[in-house]
Amino acid sequence: MTIKVLIIDDSALIRSLLTEIINGQPDMEVVGTAPDPLIAREKIKELNPDVLTLDVEMPRMDGLVFLEKLMRLRPMPVIMVSSLTEKSSYITLHALELGAVDFVTKPHIDIARGMNAYADEIGAKIRTAAKSRISGVNRNPTHTHLSVERKNSADVVLPSLSRSISSTEKIIAIGASTGGTEALRELLTSLPADCPGVVVTQHMPEAFTKTFAKRLDSLCKISVKEAEHGDRILPGHAYIAPGNMHLLVSRSGANYVAQLSDGPPVNRHRPSVDVLFRSAANFAGKNAVGIILTGMGDDGAAGMLEMKEAGAYTIAQDESSCVVFGMPKEAIARGGVSAVTTLQSMGRCLFDHLATQGERAFRV
């Protein structure tokens, strides 16, 4: 089945480049283009596309205003097309909050030297968007341990952990891809200020991860920053892998520290979730918790199995709350997952596990 794509961009050159790239894919076709959202609105009605690409900065009607109206009145998969500027990165992250599935950076005029890689990226993201869950997400806050019955829990901000956890050596490793920016926002904002140190690999290019970390830092009780080589991983702090750099957990004496690597991509990604999870398995073992969130592909599945085999507790986001169920599904299939939970109950699932590791169980 051919994926029908509508391109919305005020630049005739960008519209032409994107049309050439997308029409070069064997399973998709550009059915129309529009220079602004007002024209796009009519073309959506006329052409009924499967996926939109939308410039983040548009004339006549702001792209974010258009996206908000679209998601309210006619939800459909949208990929934002963003330039590599700080302003554009903030707008793009806001667009993801409003419901855009993913984003790509604008193609450069001299992109011929890297056209194949760019074409592969945008083609893969359009395919993912066409299959993504845009509406009807299950908000039932429950989690399922694979060996026990499903049980309900309240969707609340979690209380302090300090009196429930005796070890200061716990660490939480999280991996995510498509849909992960919003999943991470929901999960991290639920964590108390004294939670164990958190390390995060989210598939995201350079120039966006620092903005993303700043955005999370402004919303969370914990402190959030883009990871730097040698950072001590402290309780109440989260460290986001920089774009185009692997993030690993290591030890310096009794402390966990962050290491960055520009080694080869793993599973086509740098940063790679597998790289993070394997390092957590090696250096934290049973003191680690691994969490795999929404995303296409299988990055993180092998590393999560290694974490579980090393004694770590591992959690996967369930299908009903994922934008794309690829990464969690593969981790579950390989036997690397201890519990499956909705995104809305993941903080409680994590908290319940951490509380049982302390001197006494936490009681609400």
Tell me which range, 42-46, 63-67, 165-169, 358-362, is most confidently predicted by mean pLDDT.
Answer: 42-46
Instruction: Give yes or no for residue 283 having a pLDDT over 70.
Output: yes
Instruction: Give yes or no for residue 111 having a pLDDT over 70.
Output: no
190 catalytic residue (yes or no): no
- Which CB contacts under 8 angstroms, 24+ apart, belong to 63-66? 63/8, 63/37, 63/91, 63/95, 64/91, 64/94, 64/95, 64/98, 65/37, 66/37, 66/40, 66/41
Tokens of residue 134, six digits: 């845009």
Q: Are residues 219 and 106 in the same domain?
A: no
What was the pLDDT predicted at 137?
39
**How many angstroms separate the CA atoms of 178 and 81, rounded?**
15
Q: Are residues 213 and 298 in the same domain?
A: yes
Q: Is the pTM of this model over 0.85?
A: yes
Last residue of a domain, one of 79, 111, 131: 131
Last residue of a domain, one of 110, 131, 152: 131
Last residue of a domain, one of 131, 151, 172: 131
**How many angstroms separate the CA atoms of 292 and 277, rounded?**
10
Average pLDDT over residues 84-90: 80
Is 23 inside any structural domain?
A: yes
**How many angstroms separate the CA atoms of 126 and 359, rounded?**
49
Q: Which of 119, 291, 278 is nearest to 200 (CA)?
A: 291
Confidence band of 307 (pLDDT split at 50, 70, 90): very high
What was the pLDDT predicted at 329?
98
Q: How far are the Cα atoms of 68, 69, 83, 292 from residue 224, in angstroms, in the given order?
A: 27, 31, 24, 19
Number of domains comprising the chain: 2
CATH code (residue 181)? 3.40.50.180
Confidence band of 127 (pLDDT split at 50, 70, 90): very high
Q: How far are the Cα atoms of 198, 224, 231, 337 from residue 167, in angstroms, in the given order?
A: 15, 22, 20, 23
Q: Are residues 8 and 152 in the same domain?
A: no
Q: Are residues 328 and 229 in the same domain?
A: yes
What was the pLDDT predicted at 165?
41
Is 363 inside any structural domain?
A: no
Is 41 inside any structural domain?
A: yes
CATH code (residue 24)? 3.40.50.2300
| Angle at alpha carbon of residue 45, lines to 39 and 48, rounded to 5° | 115
Angle between helices 37-47 and 63-73 (to 10 degrees): 30
Least confident of 45-59, 105-119, 167-181, 278-292: 105-119
Q: Are residues 67 and 159 in the same domain?
A: no
Average pLDDT over residues 45-61: 89
Residues 336 and 327: beta-carbon distance below 8 Å: no
Is 137 inside any structural domain?
A: no
Is 136 inside any structural domain?
A: no
Active-site pick, 203, 237, 246, 269: 203
153 catalytic residue (yes or no): no
Is 221 inside any structural domain?
A: yes
Q: Are residues 195 and 277 in the same domain?
A: yes
More confident residue, 192 or 111: 192
Q: Chain-centre distance of CA 272, in angstroms?
A: 12
Residues 70 and 25: beta-carbon distance below 8 Å: no
Q: Are residues 196 and 62 in the same domain?
A: no
Q: Are residues 168 and 305 in the same domain?
A: yes
Q: Are residues 198 and 71 in the same domain?
A: no
**Tokens 């969130």 correspond to what residue?**
293
Active-site pick, 9, 102, 299, 352: 299
**Tokens 């963003």 correspond to what residue?**
82
Is 362 inside any structural domain?
A: no
Q: Are residues 45 and 124 in the same domain?
A: yes
166 catalytic residue (yes or no): no
Amino acid (1-letter code) at residue 298: D
Active-site pick, 164, 177, 279, 338: 177
Contacts of residue 72, Cβ cutoff 8 Å, sequence gap at least 6: none
What was the pLDDT predicted at 150?
35
Q: Are residues 76 and 151 in the same domain?
A: no
Least confident of 51-55, 57-61, 67-71: 57-61
Average pLDDT over residues 29-35: 97
Q: Are residues 85 and 191 in the same domain?
A: no
Is 361 inside any structural domain?
A: no
Domain hosting residue 37, numbered range: 3-131
What was the pLDDT predicted at 56?
84
